[in-house]
Every structure is written in structure tokens, then in C-alpha cells.
Amino acid sequence: MDFAAARAELLKQLSPGIRDKRVLEAMSRVPRECFVAPEMRQFAYEDRPLPIGFGQTISQPFIIALMTEALGLSGREKVLEVGAGSGYQAAILAELARQVITVERLPALAKSAQKVLNSLGYGNVSVYVGQRPWAGRLRHPMTP
């Protein structure tokens, strides 16, 4: 499958509803197929959520774009994301902000998200496991 062509086609579909061209440019640089299971990659550029395991989904691309656009990021921000999931939203945010801190309650998803983000070179993203965020207990998934 030609993921680059599929990504470009999806962005054409999103562009009428998304005014911030920086958001669309960021999405053009992030390979969504890397954030889904191999058996789901053929669907990576459909504008719909996809399962990522543990009863969770990677959000619909239009929703990702809309939420990111609403932030109005300039590039100097430190962003806190609650619910890392696959790490896709964090990657989009990392393209537009100085630093991204993301918290995931499921250790396996946090570890997987950090692995993908690292493999893609997103050094400005830190993924934490937050089992009970209201208790103030966070730990980095790579520490014992």
C-alpha cells in the first residue's frame, strides 16, 4: 500500500474543515500506520477510529486535527496530554509544540507508544504511566 498517497488523500478530505495549515502539515509528517497494529495498517488513512487493543482506539483523524487546531499552538508550548493511547496525537502535538508530556493509564499502551515515538525520533515527547492520576502517582514506563 502507498501510505504517502493515502495520507495525502486523507489530508485533502480534512482540509475543508481544518483552517490551520500547520496542523495539516504536521499530520502530513506523522505516519499514522506506525501507530496501529500491522493487520490494521491498510485502514490507517480512513477517517475513522481504529482499535489499538485493550478496548481502546486511535482517534479519527478529523477529531485529532480539530482538537489540535483548537489549541492554537505557536511552537513554544509545553503540552500535557491525558490518554496517550497509541501515541499518534502526541506525535502530532510534538510537531507543533516545544515539549509534550503524555500520561497513559495502561502500561502496555504507554510502553508501545513510547517505543513508536522513539523510533520516529520524537525526543520532545515523554510518556508516563498514571494508574491513579488523582493520587499524584506517575512513573515513567521504562523505569522499574
State how far the Cα of 6 lies from the Cα of 56, in Å rounded to an integer: 24
Q: Which helix (H) or strand (E) holds 129?
A: strand 125-132
* Catalytic annotation present for 59: yes
- Name the catalytic one among 15, 28, 59, 126: 59
Task: Give whole-number Cα distances, 67 to 17, 61, 129, in Å.
Answer: 12, 10, 22
Distance, first Cα to last Cα, the chain: 39
Residues taking part in catalysis: 59
